Amino acid sequence: MPSTGASAEGPLASWSTHQLAEFLVAVASSNDESAALACATQFAAEALEAEVAAAVRDNTVLHSVGFPQGRAPVDALTAVARGELTVLDYAGLGRLLAIAVHIDGLDGYIVLARSGNDHYRAEEVGLLRTMARALSMTLRNLRMLERERSLREIGERRAKENMQLLMLLQERQTFLERLYKIQMSISRRVPLPEVMDAIVAGAHELLGDEVVAIRLVDREDPTHMNMMSSFGVSRAMLASTKRSPLSEGAGGRAIVEDGLVIIEDYEHADGAMQEFVGARLQSAMAVPVHENGRATGSICVASYKKGRTYTDTEREILVTFAHHASIAVNDAKAVDEMRHLAYHDSLTGLPNRTLFLEHLSRAVANARRSGAGLAVLFLDLDRFKLVNDSLGHPIGDRLLAAVARRLRDSLRGADLAARLGGDEFAVLAENTSVEGARALASAVIETLRDPFHVDAHELAVTTSIGLVVDSGGTTSADSLLRNADLAMYRAKVDGSGQYLVYEPAMHAVVADRVKLEGNLRRAVTSQEFIVHYQPVVLVESGLPVGVEALVRWRREDGSLVSPGDFISVAEEMGLAPPIGLMVMHESMRQVHAWQHGSFTGRPLTLSINLSARQLRQPELVGDIVEALETTGYNPAMLVVEITETALMHDTNTVAARLRDLRSLGIRVALDDFGTGYSSLSYLRQLPLDMLKIDKSFVNDIAHGSEDAAVARAILELGRTLHLEVVAEGIENPLQLQQLARMGCRMAQGYYYSRPLSSRDMGAFLREQRERAAEFGEVAAPRLEVLTAQAG
Amino acid sequence: MQSTAATGRLETPATTQQRWIGVGSSGIADSVEAGRQAARDALRGDDPKLLVTFVSPAHDLHALLGGVREICPDVPLIGCSTSGEIATSGPGDASVVITALGGPGFSVATAAGRNASADLRTAGAAAAACAEDAGDKAHRILLLLTDGLAGDQQEIVRGAYSVVGAAVPLVGGCAGDDLAMRKTFQLFDGEVLEDAVIAAAISSDAPFGIGVQHGWRRVGNAMLVSESVGNRVISLDDQPALDVYLDRLGAPQDVRTDPAAFTRFALTHPFGVSRRSGEEVRFIAGADFAERSINCIAEVPQGGLTWIMEGDDASVLQATDAACTQALEALHGEAPLGFLAFDCIARRGVLGPGIESEVQRIVTHSGGAPVAGFYTYGEIARTHGMGGFHNQTLVVLAFS
């Protein structure tokens, strides 16, 4: 029997605890359910010192220990499991005490039976039960692991299949990558030859054929085709096969038939290319390349390998490559078209501003090298806006196209015409002199002068041209164009239908002009325009009989600007009417006030200047009438002064207008007489009342010159035609003396008074009135008394 | 102590009409002659059924077997190498002790399981296969001799058990090699085997008796086997096993450094693994000084409880008495025909020269019936339950 010895029993010494621990360790190392079950069964038996043990489920013994050669008594064991038996008979051993424990995870039992009389203690039963629970958990875990493992195995099997698929996919992937690269190069507008090279390389890599070629039909000679890109064609071969008839080879046939061509016995095929037959080419496959839906080329693969046949997949691959080649070809064409569009005006087909500047830059560079001269013409169609507004844009566009055509035709081959936009054109003439440029400008003006026939309309077009000539390429393209523009602008201002050569001073003029325009515009709204008055006197008495109203521009800073410096600009800007109206109203009001304000002993006449433009205005008479009515001024005391040059244009219209004014009682004076081109005949036709001798004839009148003779003649003319004559610009008594001797009755000038402000004029008039009162109404001229009033 | 064939004649021949047991031993150096002599001496009757041969590894085993076969050419033979031999005349070394049994009352079949280390259970089962052929006499045992260095001996026992079942006791021992712990031999007919399990299934008209006692007692507190792998104990109470062991026992310096010294020391300080009834003693074969682990020759289960055991002359001899008594009890008053003693080398280590008196005691218990046995690396005795492998134990098989 077991020997006893001293032992320190503590909580650690619990047998069943450590048995359980051992059990757990043992079972944990099992790899599968049956191993765990066997281990557990064995362990439980050994721990409890049973001779036999078995795992039973559903009347089956899953595992047993201690029964010889697996002869476990299943019925008895099952009975024990069900609690129906507590002993087992064992041949040779006798009765064994049996115990069973349920294993949840097994849905079965472990049965133990041992010899001897020791019944199962509580501690042993407890141990068994705990083992049972632990085993259940283990079985469940193992089952899960098993499931996972088998899933993993399935997974691994699938992985193997996938590997094979992957290999296939890799091939496909390479193919797609190649296509993608080709696509990208097409998108990035890589030059067409490079795209073709990429396609050829791709076809070789994927199909493996030793020879690949892309051919395109020769545009000049559609019976032949040229190799654009190839692989595996030796230099020698290339020389003889680079250009070939469409009737030859798989590549040619594919174009002609516009379809897939396969030759698998090259030697004996119809239309085989002799060079390749000689080289022992075995097979070839070709697919057409299309441009705008038409077969314009082909891609062909060919092999020297015997027995080379082309599978469906390979055909598809080649078709895909051909498709990409088609895209590339179409795209290249589209790019060309776009490039053309980018540089050309769509309406006229002429180069646009961008292209023109490019050419100009190049011309400047050339000129710098060669020292030659170049000319830039900047053209503007006068009054084109009128055509557009009156006849509509479609007509306007057609006119522009016609102008462009005529312009282009009129130029030398080397010259370049461009449309800059709107109705502006430019011409570049290289290797030309100033004279040549002038001649060119004249020629252009002339050729465009002939009327254009657009639809049913006959349209006359004039053009203003700015011309700049540069030699030695010293000015940049941008500057040249800008200067030509400037010159054109000046030309336009000066009058339509002419050209003007650029001068650097134009810049200043323009700058000044621009400034002036701005100031003028402001001046109108800020009422910077005022009226000054210069008296018209009787030579006899020196007493004023009238005043001339003169517009002045008093700037913000107080300075005065005389009309000569701004009137014409104001008129061009269309500012004249408001200024004119202001002058009319103001002067009528003022003189009316003087007349009734006892500033003068006798009625004064008011002279106001009218410009040619004003005269042409239909509203003129109405405006004057309105002013008369508003101010209450007596029209019989109003004189309108017009210059000779104003009469030159639209003489009929002007005459009619003057007659209208005359009918109101207004008198008409001809200013600066003697300086214009008026013929004496129309003097008689026009309704005139007065002539004013231009000061240029008064200047040297004292020195007995021709001027004096002219003055005398004018006076005589006036007497003959019953016109009053006023001498302008009297500056000294000598002039006055002469004029008086000639019989001139009225005069005007600094000698009497400068133009004065209304306040000063008011003062002047009062003074004169006092003087008149002093000497009586009509007095002999007392020359020595007369003094020029300092204005 | 040397025994001579002549000494064997002092024994009272134990025969019945039905069964006889004879033990012969020889101490001469010549292996062939020693084999002849021992065999001749053992054959006490006719119809020998089995020769059980315990031989010192000092002998040329082939030669010795040759000598035995000359005398008994056709008798089934099982045997093994030892770490010392036991004969009726007393313990010995470098000798050979042969037990012969025969007579119509015995029925024997033998088998060998080879390549045990590859699959211990299968080897055990293979050896036990002979049980089927041992006839169907009333009483049966399976005698097992194993290569103790092959692996977990418990597995061999389980294997044999799975074949014979609970009704057949298992008894036997592990071959030795004079404490070299290198290579042991198992004898099967004319073959000298290694890494084998040899079995003889013996059925008899008369009962067998098996006594199992060890004589060790616990020292100190129990320890938790916190980590072990198979036969290797790696840590006790979460400390390196070797350190715990040496410190607990206050081992001298040479034991701590010299593997041979350690083995000798550990021989008398085995583990005792906690079991339902008592402790299962575990023989400590050696240690891994680098790893600080202890090697046993059977599993020390992780999670279990173990004590360090110790013994002394008195307790060992007390166990000897108890084992013999136990074996005799099973004979139910029948006089024994002979004893086979499987005595752990550790017990010899404790007794030292006292092994003389131990053998005498056994002989006394056997009532002069022949006694044979050897000093083993492990003992096999399964009489109840499933566990059957022991260490530091004396197993006595009494024939009747």
- For A586-626, strand residue ranges (E) read 605-609
- Residue A140 burial class via C-beta count within 10 angstroms: exposed 0-12, middle 13-18, buried 19 and up: middle
**Is residue A464 located within the same domain as residue A612?**
no
Could you give the CA distance from residue A746 to residue A767 in angstroms, rounded to a whole number? 19
CB contact under 8 A, A114 and B304: no
Which residues lie below 8 Å from residue B130, measured CB to CB, with a gap of 6+?
A: B109, B110, B111, B142, B199, B200, B201
CB contact under 8 A, A66 and B278: no
Which residues lie below 8 Å from residue B375, measured CB to CB, with a gap of 6+?
A: B82, B83, B84, B85, B86, B91, B176, B343, B344, B345, B348
pLDDT computed for residue A677 by the predictor: 67
**Is residue A698 located within the same domain as residue A744?**
yes
pLDDT computed for residue A77 by the predictor: 92
Q: Chain A: nearest CA to B12, how far in angstroms?
A: 31
How many residues in total does chain B contain?
A: 400
Could you give the CA distance from residue A641 to residue A652 in angstroms, rounded to a whole number? 18
Q: Does residue A790 sit within a domain? A: no
The per-residue pLDDT for range B25-48, each reduced to its tens digit, is 999 999 999 999 999 999 988 899
Pairing relationship of beta strands A690-693 and A667-673 according to DSSP bridges: parallel
CB contact under 8 A, B386 and A49: yes
**Is residue A499 located within the same domain as residue A534?**
no
The token pair at B319 is 């166990």
CA distances from B236 to A527, A776, B303, B375 (A): 118, 158, 10, 29
A547, A604 Cβ separation under 8 angstroms: yes
pLDDT computed for residue A491 by the predictor: 87
CB contact under 8 A, B386 and A50: yes
Mean pLDDT, residues B273-300 taken together: 87
The token pair at B368 is 């002069």
CB contact under 8 A, B221 and A49: no
Secondary structure of A675-703 in HEC code, one letter for each residue: CCCCCHHHHHHCCCCEEEECHHHHHCHHH
The token pair at A709 is 């003779």
pLDDT confidence bin for B9, thresholds 50/70/90: very low
Range of the domain at A385: 344-503
Q: Chain B: nearest CA to A71, how far in angstroms?
A: 10
What's the domain count of chain A?
A: 4
B185 lies within 8 A of chain A by CB: no
Q: Is B340 helix (H, G, I), strand (E, B) or coil?
A: strand
CB contact under 8 A, A47 and B221: no
Q: Does residue A396 sit within a domain? A: yes
Given a cut of 50, is residue B185 above it in pLDDT? yes
Could you give the CA distance from residue B36 to residue B64 in angstroms, rounded to a whole number? 8
Q: Does residue A122 sit within a domain? A: yes
Smallest Cβ–Cβ distance between B303 and the set A13, A18, A48 belongs to A18
Residue type, A48: L
CATH number for the domain spanning A457: value is 3.30.70.270
The per-residue pLDDT for range A711-768, each reduced to its tens digit, is 888 888 888 888 899 999 999 888 888 888 888 999 999 988 999 999 999 889 888 8
pLDDT computed for residue B16 by the predictor: 58
**Is residue A490 located within the same domain as residue A370?**
yes
The token pair at B12 is 């009272």
Q: Which of A698, A694, A689 is nearest to A659 (CA)?
A: A689
Could you give the CA distance from residue B218 to residue A13 in angstroms, rounded to a whole number? 13
Q: Chain A: nearest CA to B53, how far in angstroms?
A: 29
Alpha helices in A633-688 (DSSP H): 644-648, 651-663, 680-685
Given a cut of 50, is residue B10 above it in pLDDT? no
Q: Which chain B positions have a beta carbon within 8 Å of A116's beta carbon?
A: 384
The per-residue pLDDT for range B63-119, each reduced to its tens digit, is 999 999 999 999 999 999 999 999 999 999 999 999 999 999 999 999 999 999 999
Residue that terminates a domain, selected from A503, A535, A563: A503
Between chain A and chain B, the number of residue pairs with CB atoms below 8 A apart is 120
pLDDT computed for residue A779 by the predictor: 40
Q: What is the mean pLDDT of chain B?
A: 89
Q: Which chain B positions have a beta carbon within 8 Å of A48's beta carbon?
A: 276
pLDDT confidence bin for B333, thresholds 50/70/90: confident
Rounded to the nearest 5 degrees, what angle is found at the Cα of A745, between the Cα atoms of A729 and A764?
Answer: 60
- Helix A122-187 / helix A192-207 crossing angle, nearest 10 deg: 140
Could you give the CA distance from residue B330 to residue B341 in angstroms, rounded to a whole number? 16
Neighbours of A256 (CB within 10 A): 15
B325 lies within 8 A of chain A by CB: no
Alpha helices in A381-504 (DSSP H): 384-391, 393-410, 434-449, 477-494
Q: Does residue A733 sit within a domain? A: yes
CB contact under 8 A, A50 and B276: no
pLDDT computed for residue A14 by the predictor: 60
Interface test with B, best of A1, A4, A7 (most B CBs within 10 A): A7
Reported ipTM: the value is 0.79
Could you give the CA distance from residue A98 to residue B168 in angstroms, rounded to a whole number? 19
CATH number for the domain spanning A619: value is 3.20.20.450
Residues 34-93 of A with CB under 8 A from B: 42, 45-53, 65-69, 90-93
CATH number for the domain spanning A306: value is 3.30.450.40
pLDDT computed for residue A162 by the predictor: 67
Residues 256-315 of B with CB under 8 A from A: 274-279, 301-305, 307, 309, 315
CB contact under 8 A, A116 and B215: no
Q: Which residues of chain A have pLDDT under 70?
A: 1-15, 69-70, 162-163, 165-170, 172-173, 183, 186-189, 335, 598-601, 649, 677-679, 682, 775-791
CB contact under 8 A, B386 and A46: yes
β-bridge mates for residue B372, sequence order: B87, B340
Enter the DSSP assignment of A120: P
The token pair at A638 is 């109003």
**Is residue A604 located within the same domain as residue A745?**
yes
Look-up: residue for tokens 């009929």? A652
All structural domains of chain B with their residue ranges: 5-213+315-399, 224-310
Please state, for a pLDDT cut of 70, what percent of chain B lies above it. 96
The token pair at A520 is 């003028």
Q: Is B15 helix (H, G, I), strand (E, B) or coil?
A: strand
B220 lies within 8 A of chain A by CB: yes
pLDDT computed for residue A748 by the predictor: 94
pLDDT computed for residue A376 by the predictor: 94
Could you give the CA distance from residue A442 to residue A465 in angstroms, rounded to a whole number? 9
CA distances from B398 to A71, A569, B21, B47, B344 (A): 30, 152, 11, 20, 17
Encode burial over A731-761: b for 16+ CB neighbours within 10 A, e otherwise.
eebebbebbbebebbbbbbbbbbebbbbebb
CB contact under 8 A, B385 and A45: yes
How many residues in total does chain A contain?
A: 791
Look-up: residue for tokens 């400047």? A364
**Is residue A219 located within the same domain as residue A199?**
yes
The token pair at B81 is 């190498």
Which residues lie below 8 Å from residue A24, measured CB to CB, with a gap of 6+?
A: A134, B303
Q: Does residue A776 sit within a domain? A: no
- Residue B262 burial class via C-beta count within 10 angstroms: exposed 0-12, middle 13-18, buried 19 and up: buried
Pairing relationship of beta strands B48-55 and B77-81 according to DSSP bridges: parallel
Enter the DSSP assignment of A143: H
Which residues lie below 8 Å from residue A535, measured CB to CB, with a gap of 6+?
A: A544, A546, A547, A748, A752, A753, A761, A764, A765, A768
CB contact under 8 A, A51 and B276: no
The per-residue pLDDT for range A236-263, each reduced to its tens digit, is 888 888 899 988 889 999 999 999 999 9
Q: Is B202 helix (H, G, I), strand (E, B) or coil?
A: strand
Name the percent of chain B in helix, strand, coil, to the closest 5. Answer: 30, 35, 35
pLDDT computed for residue A782 by the predictor: 35
Q: Which of A54, A20, A27, A25 is nearest to A142 (CA)?
A: A27
Neighbours of A203 (CB within 10 A): 29
Nearest CA in chain A to B384: A51
CA A766 centroid distance within chain:
70
Alpha helices in A550-606 (DSSP H): 567-572, 576-596
B216 lies within 8 A of chain A by CB: yes
Q: Does residue A1 sit within a domain? A: no
CB contact under 8 A, B386 and A15: no
CB contact under 8 A, A49 and B387: yes
Q: Does residue A117 sit within a domain? A: yes
Residue type, A590: Q
Nearest CA in chain A to B140: A92
pLDDT computed for residue A513 by the predictor: 77
Could you give the CA distance from residue A67 to residue A49 in angstroms, rounded to a whole number? 15
Q: Chain B: nearest CA to A88, how far in angstroms?
A: 12
Q: Is A525 helix (H, G, I), strand (E, B) or coil?
A: helix
pLDDT computed for residue B8 by the predictor: 38
pLDDT computed for residue A781 by the predictor: 36
